[in-house]
Structure 1
Amino acid sequence: MSGIYIHIPFCKKKCHYCDFYITLNKNNVSKLIEAIKFELILRKNFLNKNSIETIYFGGGTPSMISPNYIGNIIKEIKNNFSVNSNIEITIEANPDDISLDNLLKWKKYGINRISLGVQTLNDNLLNFINRSHNKKTAIASIKKISEHYDNFSIDLIYGIPGNRYDKLKNDIKEIIKFNPPHISAYNLTIEKKTVFYNWLKNNIIKKEKEREIIKQFNLLKNILEKEEYIQYETSSFCKKGYESKHNSGYWKRKKYLGIGPSAHSFDGKYRSWNISDNNKYISALNKRIIPNTEEKLSKKMKINEIIMIGIRTKWGIDNKQLITQLKYDILKNQKNTIDKLINDKLIYINRTKIKATKKGSILLDYIAEKLLV
């Protein structure tokens, strides 16, 4: 089983925390869609005829382009790949793009899961992070989606400078009234080449204190666990049976094909990424050239990926997988480090798997750093 990711790089405005490849120029949408469809044709053998169990439209803001384009891409995938009958097809959407017409057309073309970028319900904070919607639009969009889709996810951000504990609590309480099957809650990270990074350098903003971030993270966990959400990855909470199949594929290191400008792919041995430039991407595809860069993964890189990803999930770091695939026994090779982390109550061993404790769940980067080879 494999997945396909489609990167749609268009946005109405760029969020102040965003470091993804996006563009505000929509002049070449149709040309880009044609290039995406052609890349799918050229790379139809990349996944070795594996059955496709997930398709994910990300960006950017795929919800802002015509649903007909989305439908054409899905049709191209079905024409060139073996598609699972129980396929999960997700589209990332902004609240201001949620209309009855879009919802019905997406469903007609096969979209059966929506990931809605709410981020916060505080209008001042929405303006601060440069989102294109307000609270009223967000609430209305969640209501519309819940009336037409069984499977959807709400994205939230915590750790935003100025977003106090009580404001976040109000957001969560209001959102869970709609009983969303899935909630993704991300700690704000300030990356280079973002507005927030420049503001931070120029002392316009200050990072939220770690104590406050931990407090907000624990608040999220406690409220969602009481509502019977399962935390299956550090940022991902779902009702039983509603894990994101696509994202779970990343965390389980399943093969996936990334299509579109800046999209990444993984075949088990290599990681590759497409050029982050619409015009150069289109020009290359017009010449039947796939404009990507490739990196062969060493044994050490593969081990470290399994460690870094595994410790973030409910499945943990699988020593059996490490031994079988890479002939590396982490329980034996890292015994002293593991014993210390167990004594510090940060991890525990469940059969052949290393998992984070509740205390360790807020120190995942530290745990991973200690276990890396």
Structure 2
Amino acid sequence: MSGIYIHIPFCKQACHYCDFHFSTNLKKKEEMVLALAKEIEMRKSEFQDEIVQTIYFGGGTPSILQIADLRFLIDEVYLNYKVVENPEITVEANPDDLTENRIIELSKNKVNRLSIGIQSFFEDDLKMMNRAHNVEEAKKCLEIATQYFDNISIDLIYGVPEMSNEKWLQDIETALSFDVPHISSYALTVEPKTALHSFIQKGIIPQPDDEVAQEHFHILVDKLSENGFIHYELSNFGKENYFSKNNSSYWLGKKYIGIGPSAHSYDGKNRGWNVSNNSLYIKSIQENKLPIEIEILTKTDRYNEYIMTGLRTIWGVSLERIEQEFGKTYLDYLNQQAAKFIEDHLLFVDDNILRTTKKGKFLSDGIASDLFLLNLE
């Protein structure tokens, strides 16, 4: 099973923390939709032997498109690829786009999962992040969306400067009150060249505190566990049968095609990424050229990716797979590097699977980097 990711590179306004590829200039929106449809058709040969299980509209802000545009792009996937009978079709959406009419329209199409960018239920946080919606819109859209969609995920951000533990807990409890089956939650990260980075350098906004973020993370894990959520990936919590199939396929190393500017693709051996420029992307597609760069992954690259994704998930890192796929030298290296983390109760081995402990979960990316191999080839 494989997935199709479609990047919609437009937003109404720029969130201060965001470093994803997007434009607030919507003039090329119609040209972009046609280019996306053409890329979908141009790349069908890559999935001749694959069955598409998930279609995911990410961004940017996919909910900025008309329903007809989303339907057109979904139809193009069906026209050019083999698709399972009931694929997971997700649209990322912002609360300000999700009016009652819009939600009803979406529910009448093939879209069966919404990922809603709430981020916070507090006005001061939303203003600091420069989100396009307000708290009232966030709550209203969830009240309506839960009537028409069973499968809803919401995004929340923690580790926000000057956010107390009590305030963060209130955010989580508000989210839980809408009875959504999936929550994705991320620590506020300061990326270079973002407005947030500039504000921190100028002293307008305090630097986020890693210790506070770690406290917030543990509050989140405990509260969601109490409410029946399974912590299946570092930033993702789902109730039984509500894990994101799209995201899970990335972490489990399944193949996917990324459509649109800046979108990434993976075929098991190679990674590709499209040009991160809307005009260049459209021009290239119009000239029947794929604007993609390809990197052939070495065995060491694939080992490092498996360590990184495996440690972030409940599925962990299979020591048997390491030996079978990469060889005894890699397994010996992994065991040697993991020993100190096992001793510090940050990692453990159970049934020949290496996993993070509760204490080690928040640190999983850092631990993974210490388990990486620089080169064996």
Residue matched to 2:156: 156
Deviations 1:43-76 (A, max 9, x none): 0011233000000000000101101000000000
SS at match of 2:140: helix
Amino acid at match of 1:30: E
Residue matched to 1:33: 33
Residue matched to 1:194: 194
SS at match of 2:56: strand
Deviations 1:129-175 (A, max 9, x none): 00011111100111111000000101000011122211111111111
Contact 1:322 1:329 in 2 (8 A): no
Q: Percent identity?
A: 40
SS at match of 1:354: strand
Structure-2 separation of matches of 1:146 and 1:63: 17
Contact 2:48 2:81 in 1 (8 A): no
Q: Which moves more between the two structures, 242-251 or 347-356? A: 347-356
Residue matched to 1:59: 59
Structure-2 separation of matches of 1:160 and 1:67: 34
Matches within 5 A, 1:320-359: 320-328=320-328, 330-359=330-359
Residue matched to 2:303: 303
Structure-2 separation of matches of 1:36 and 1:235: 29
Closer, same or farther in 2 for the Cα pair 1:328/1:60, shift >3 Å? farther
SS at match of 1:178: coil
Closer, same or farther in 2 for the Cα pair 1:248/1:201, shift >3 Å? same
Contact 2:253 2:268 in 1 (8 A): yes
Residue matched to 2:274: 274
Amino acid at match of 1:3: G
Structure-2 separation of matches of 1:18 and 1:254: 27
Amino acid at match of 1:76: E
Deviations 1:308-334 (A, max 9, x none): 111010000122332333335654333
Matches within 5 A, 1:75-94: 75-94=75-94
Residue matched to 1:288: 288
Deviation at 1:342, TM superposition (A): 1.3
Residue matched to 1:95: 95
Residue matched to 2:68: 68
SS at match of 2:170: helix
Amino acid at match of 1:280: L
Structure-1 separation of matches of 2:204 and 2:128: 12
Amino acid at match of 2:53: E
Amino acid at match of 1:133: H
Amino acid at match of 1:362: F
Structure-1 separation of matches of 2:275 and 2:359: 40
Residue matched to 2:10: 10
Contact 2:100 2:141 in 1 (8 A): no
Contact 1:49 1:81 in 2 (8 A): no
Q: Which runs of 4+ in 1 moved over 3 A?
A: 328-331
Amino acid at match of 2:338: I
Residue matched to 1:133: 133
Residue matched to 1:230: 230
User: Are residue 113 (structure 1) and residue 108 (structure 2) matched?
Assistant: no
Amino acid at match of 1:282: I
Amino acid at match of 1:12: K
Amino acid at match of 1:340: K
User: Are residue 365 (structure 1) and residue 365 (structure 2) matched?
Assistant: yes
SS at match of 1:262: coil
Contact 1:74 1:109 in 2 (8 A): no
Structure-1 separation of matches of 2:329 and 2:361: 23
Deviation at 1:359, TM superposition (A): 1.0
Structure-2 separation of matches of 1:197 and 1:354: 36
SS at match of 1:7: strand
Contact 1:271 1:297 in 2 (8 A): yes
Amino acid at match of 2:37: K
Unaligned runs of 5+ in 1: none
Q: Which moves more between the two structures, 200-209 or 104-113? A: 200-209
